[in-house]
Amino acid sequence: MSKRSDMTNTHNWSGQKLVSTDYLLFEAPREKHFMTGSEVLKEAMKRCTVDASVSYPITPQSEAAHLIGELWAEGYVGTYFRGENEFGVMSEVAGCAMAGARTVTTTSGPGTLRAMENFPQWSGTRIPCQLVLMARGINSPLTIQPDNLEVSFMLETGCMIWYAENVQELFDMSIAAFTVAEKPDVHVPIITVVDGFFVSHTREAVMLPADDIALEPYDPYKAPLPPIDSETPPGRFLRDPFVMKSNYISYATHASWQWEVRSAVERSRPYAEHYLKGLIHITGEDDAEIAFVTCGTASNQAKEAHRELMKLGIKTKVIKLRTIRPFPAKELLAAVEGIKHIFVPEFNVVGWLEKEVRKELYNKCEADIVGGPRVAGGMSMPAEAIIAEVMEKINPGKGA
């Protein structure tokens, strides 16, 4: 059984050499592998000196949860167990993290909704755990297919939200996520999102560092709230009488704490900027008048549309958002300077990303914002659908 007492100053309990996040992400030599997103997540967690992981099966994240369990069996994860349901899992994750453990879990779709009460509780208790969310449909009739509507439910939970486009980004982000979440001036949960099946089950080339190195362990005594121990019971976190009383001071205390949680998310910006090499990534022409603002798999499809439109002499660029919380408003505003038309392709029916874009650009940008195309329930988004949306806008009535 892996345990912290087996660690030394230079190596973790599994014998991996402890290195900095910068070395692991930017300096360590890498070799090419061919893996699915679930397999890549296992490789990332293998290099993260993870203390605890709690799981519950739901498609499409079941394989990822199973593979993290294999890491426990192999001695790379300190403890691993299955919860009784997703609500139980997220509650147990909270307990592990409050006790000072670097903790990770995964879920998808209905599992996210069943556990929803826990996520603002996570941020309210300032635990730096990581949820890897492999998004899938949540609507009736029931579907297990790709759809990211559930992300809209997570936007105001007080958690950081990062969005990976492919398996390489999933590997790098899920490692960086722990480091940023655990910064003392941040110290809130982080949700690393990928589109289920499109990333979780798709096999791609990925560059990985050797598996004999790993992140330095989490130090809970640098946290803004102390970990639970024999002198710091759970009541200190959740039922402080001062906060629970019904008077003006307790109301003000609770309100100010909510603002502080959101301020902590904002303080993550410089760290995310460093480890993600930018909160947005831009592909395309600087003098383009058409832009696609995207996240996740829609970014890949928009890039394909960009290449096809270039053949038609139409200049475009793709602005991929890598963080949703904090939202990269300043970076987005700079990126759309000179743009006349903004398209926001999404894998959901409600257009939650379009709403975010409109809110942040309101009265700051004169570009026409088009919410679409949108696909959902497992539908793919061929480049032709994006091109048709563009052509209908710039060439009304004639389409593509």
Residue 44's closest CA among 97, 102, 101? 102
Higher pLDDT, 395 or 390: 390
What DSSP string runs through 59-77?
Answer: TTTHHHHHHHHHHHHHTSS
- The mean pLDDT value of the chain amounts to 93
Handedness of CA 333, 337, 340, 341 (dihedral sign): negative
Starting at the edge strand that comes first in sequence, how are the strands of the sheet with 316-321 ordered? 280-284, 316-321, 290-294, 341-343, 368-370
DSSP letters along 315-352, please?
A: -EEEEEESEEES--HHHHHHHTTT-SEEE--BSSSS-H
Instruction: Give every CB contact of residue 34 below 8 A, 6+ residues apart in sequence.
Output: 203, 204, 205, 206
Q: Which tokens hold the place of 32?
A: 């090419």
Nearest-angstrom CA–CA distance, 215 and 235 = 31
pTM: 0.95
Residue 226: HSE in the Cβ half-sphere, 13 Å Cα cutoff: 9
Q: Convert the pLDDT of each residue in 92-144 to its tens digit.
A: 999 999 999 999 999 999 999 999 999 999 999 899 999 999 999 997 788 89
Q: Which long-range contacts (CB under 8 A, 24 or more apart) does 5-11 make?
A: 7/217
37-46 and 62-74 helices, crossing angle to 10°: 30
Q: Which two tokens stand for residue 312?
A: 């038609």
Residue-wise pLDDT tens digits, 166-217: 999 999 999 999 999 999 999 999 999 999 999 999 999 999 999 999 999 9
- How far apart are alpha carbons 219 and 227 in whole angstroms? 10
- Report residue 81 as tokens: 């167990």
> Which percentage of the chain shows pLDDT scores above 70?
94
Confidence of residue 233 (pLDDT cuts 50, 70, 90): low
Q: How far apart are CA 99 and CA 101, in angstroms?
A: 6
Residue 341 CA to residue 211 CA, distance in Å, equals 45
CATH architecture of 4-222: 3-Layer(aba) Sandwich (3.40)
Q: Compute the distance between CA of residue 265 and CA of residue 46 in angstroms, rounded to an integer.
A: 26
Tell me the angle at which helices 167-181 and 37-46 cross, rounded to the nearest 10 degrees. 40
Beta-bridge partners for 214: 18
List, for residues 346-369, the tens digit of each pLDDT value: 999 999 999 999 999 999 999 999
- Say which CATH topology domain 282-394 has: Rossmann fold (3.40.50)
Burial of 239: CB neighbours in 10 Å, binned 0-12, 13-18, 19+:
exposed
User: Where does the chain hold its CATH 3.40.50.920 domain(s)?
Assistant: 282-394
Q: Outline which parts of the chain fall under CATH 3.40.50.970.
A: 4-222
